[in-house]
Chain A
Amino acid sequence: MKSIFTLSFFSAFLLLASCSRNVTRIDPAETPDIAGTWNNTDSRLTAEQMISDALTADWLSNHVQAKTKKPVVIVGMVTNKSHEHIEAETFMKDLERSFITTSKVGLVQSGKKREELRAEKADQQTNASASTMKKFGLENGADYILQGSINSIVDAHKRKKTVTYQVDLELTNIQTNEVVWIGDKKIAKYVKN
């Protein structure tokens, strides 16, 4: 009787243990492909390619030669025209961070964060002490704007599928509209269900 009770107890324990969720920490640099969709590895590879391209291209040396100071870049819009929801901020932030850490390119804030900055500045006009209050009209003007697009091509039949992503980033001179750099990253995947 006792043995039956012990056996059933352990069986129930094993059954419950097998049903529980198991979480394992992994290295973000080695995210495995599971569903075959855009994932962390794709974002990282895109960022690495864009960083190495952007910081070694001619536009940087040309600008420094002509203006004798580092260029200032503002980040514009990235349009995701692929078939998946992709957030470009993951690799754009890597690129922006590389601009700052290498000190080769200046970066100015844009979008909602810039609006927040200006709102804070406006608040200071009435609430901060005169000696610490920041003035309007003294922001750094950007020399270049960084814009981009994400496209994809899907070819699927039965259980086989190929997906090709193409990420393009363009750097344009705001004064002249001249495109000074285009970086691209192509990622192709073969998925078999």
Chain B
Amino acid sequence: MNKTLLFAILLFSVFNLKAQDAALAPDQNPRYKESLDKYVASKDELQKTNNTTVQDTYKAYDWYQAKMDRRQDRINYRRQMNLYRRNNYYPYDNYYNGYDHYRNNNYRYNNRGNNNRHYNYQPGCSSPFGNWFYWFW
């Protein structure tokens, strides 16, 4: 009885192995299923960019364009300063792009001294006449 059972199990194993071999294409890697399982799980994510252009651009340095950008920055800066002058609006909180306002812009230097008596540019100074302290300077 035991011998018959053992023979049957052996026969089943041999047939099973044969069946697996038959499923493989000639010269196919027998471990192909490991890779298959890995890629079937992530195929949707991997195929998301099919038939599209993935924009992986870089910023090229262009001397002339950089010059134009610096010029535009200066214009924007002056515009913001004018706004500040009119509305006592202080622009520094959300403006900095690498341009040295103090060194390259004469605005600050041209508006020191007596000008401060009548119009003060200090942030947080809500008086339309500036800081009252400078009235007695």
Taking a contact as CB atoms under 8 Å apart, the answer to whether B60 and A85 are in contact is no
Chain B interface residue bracket vs A = 10 to 19
| Residues in B whose Cβ lies below 8 Å from that of A111 | 47, 49-52
Residues of A149-193 at the interface with B, using a CB-CB cut-off of 8 Å, are 150, 152, 154, 156-159, 161, 193
Complex: A110 Cα to B58 Cα, angstroms: 28
Could you tell me the distance between the alpha carbons of A89 and B65 in the complex, rounded to whole angstroms?
28
Q: Taking A83-B58, A83-B59, A111-B47 as contacts, is the C-beta distance between A156 and B64 under 8 angstroms? A: yes
Is A75 interfacial (CB 8 A cutoff)? yes
| Cβ 8 A contact of A193, one of B47, B50, B54, B64 | B64
Rounded to whole Å, the gap between the CB of A95 and the closest CB of chain B is 12
Q: Which of A77, A79, A114, A161 has the most CB of B within 10 A?
A: A77
Given A156-B63, A161-B64: A76 in contact with B53 (beta carbons within 8 A): no
- 22 residue pairs from A and B, CB less than 8 Å apart: A77-B51, A77-B53, A78-B52, A80-B55, A80-B57, A81-B57, A83-B59, A85-B55, A85-B57, A88-B53, A110-B47, A111-B47, A111-B49, A112-B51, A113-B51, A154-B62, A156-B60, A156-B61, A156-B64, A159-B64, A161-B64, A193-B64
Q: Across the A-B interface, how many residue pairs have beta carbons closer than 8 Å?
A: 70
What CA separation (Å) do A183 and B65 show in the bound complex?
Answer: 33
Hey, which chain A residues are within 8 Å of B50, CB to CB? 74-77, 110-111, 114
A87 contacts partner chain B, Cβ-Cβ < 8 Å:
yes
| Complex interface bits, B36-52 against A, C-beta within 8 A gives 1, otherwise 0 | 00000000000101111
Also in contact, A81 and B62, with CB within 8 A (given A87-B53, A111-B50, A112-B51): no
- C-alpha gap A186/B57 in the complex (Å): 18
Compute how far the CA of A84 lies from the CA of B62 in the bound complex, rounded to whole angstroms: 13
Q: Does A86 contact B (CB under 8 A)?
A: yes
Number of interface residues of A (CB under 8 A): 30
Which A residues touch B59, using CB under 8 A? 83
Given A156-B62, A158-B63, A158-B64, are A84 and B57 also a contact pair (CB < 8 Å)?
Answer: yes
> Per a CB cutoff under 8 Å, which of A81, A89, A113 touches B56?
A81
A86 in contact with B63 (CB, 8 Å): no
Contact among A79, A112, A114, A158 for B54, CB-based, below 8 A? A79
